[in-house]
Structure 1
């Protein structure tokens, strides 16, 4: 009899304590899927930029790139309120490579495809370690939830050879 009472008491304590111990939880979605297409001569890599969500390169062709995501909600928490891709792009471009010698930045070109906005501009600078000029195609993509910075680069002498591929990478990004 004592065993039955002890068992019933234990069951009662366990079932009621679970009801009072649990609180309502709010679900948070962490991260989301981002798709990007790379030329078949490029592979994913690491070591180019620690803040990026993907890094890619072809050592043989001397081309490199990476993508950095700036989540709009997190930007607002940091009190960075961009009203358009133009604002975001101009803010990024003004500081991009600003301390480098022989820095040149082209005027951004903007376009929209569906709900996604794109901006791109060319940038070059002289790299004293490599003793050559480096060319960047800088792309900005604005989606509903994020801004993405896509930076693809190579030696300036290879600009005409790889710019079209860099643009294909830029315009392939979806989330």
Structure 2
């Protein structure tokens, strides 16, 4: 009998709370899902870039890839709005070039593919190691604009290996779907 009364009282409290709630609730999605085709010789990692949402590597082939996604809505809440992919490129390329490094960038190529806008270039950077030895890295840098997101897809290798990997890097970059 005491259990029935306690159960009835508990159900009454729950029902009263539901009736007196002053807010309506809507289910919200957390996180963002997108897809990129990655060669089967690359494996997932988390060691290349702290802000990347996707990272793959093959150290034997010297092949590296990261994807950084930026929500347009979140950028706008921070007061950031890009008028073009070129502006997005110009804002982000500074970090790759570095202040002390020698670099050369190809003329960017802009195109549309599967309803998305792309801005793509190659960047060769001469990095100086701590022992003063120079290492040449070449990046395929692809910026993609979809309806709600900007993506930075960075694929890179030693410059001496880059041409062999370039067809795969281009396929990675244009495979993005959200």
Question: 1:1-175, aligned counterparts within 5 Å?
Answer: 12-21=12-21, 23-129=23-129, 131-175=134-178
The answer (yes or no) to whether the contact 1:137–1:153 under 8 Å persists in 2 is yes
Q: How far does the alpha carbon of each residue in 1:66-106 deviate from its partner, in whole angstroms, 9 at most, with x for none?
A: 00001100110111111222321233234532314211222
Question: How much has 1:65 moved relative to structure 2?
Answer: 1.2
Find the aligned partners of 1:51 and 1:126 in 2 and give their Cα distance: 23
Q: What's the secondary structure of 1:96's corresponding residue? A: helix
Distance 1:6 1:154, change over 3 A: closer
Q: Larger deviation: 127-136 or 154-163?
A: 127-136
Distance 1:14 1:59, change over 3 A: closer
Q: Alignment RMSD, CA only?
A: 2.4
TM-score, normalised via structure 2 length: 0.85
Q: What's the secondary structure of 1:28's corresponding residue? A: coil
Find the aligned partners of 1:166 and 1:78 in 2 and give their Cα distance: 32
The answer (yes or no) to whether the contact 2:113–2:174 under 8 Å persists in 1 is no
Question: How much has 1:141 moved relative to structure 2?
Answer: 0.9
Q: Larger deviation: 81-90 or 139-148?
A: 81-90
Find the aligned partners of 2:157 and 2:9 in 1 and give their Cα distance: 73
The answer (yes or no) to whether the contact 2:102–2:127 under 8 Å persists in 1 is no
In structure 2, runs of 5+ residues without a counterpart are: none
Q: Please say which structure displays the higher CA radius of gyration.
A: 1
TM-score, normalised via structure 1 length: 0.87
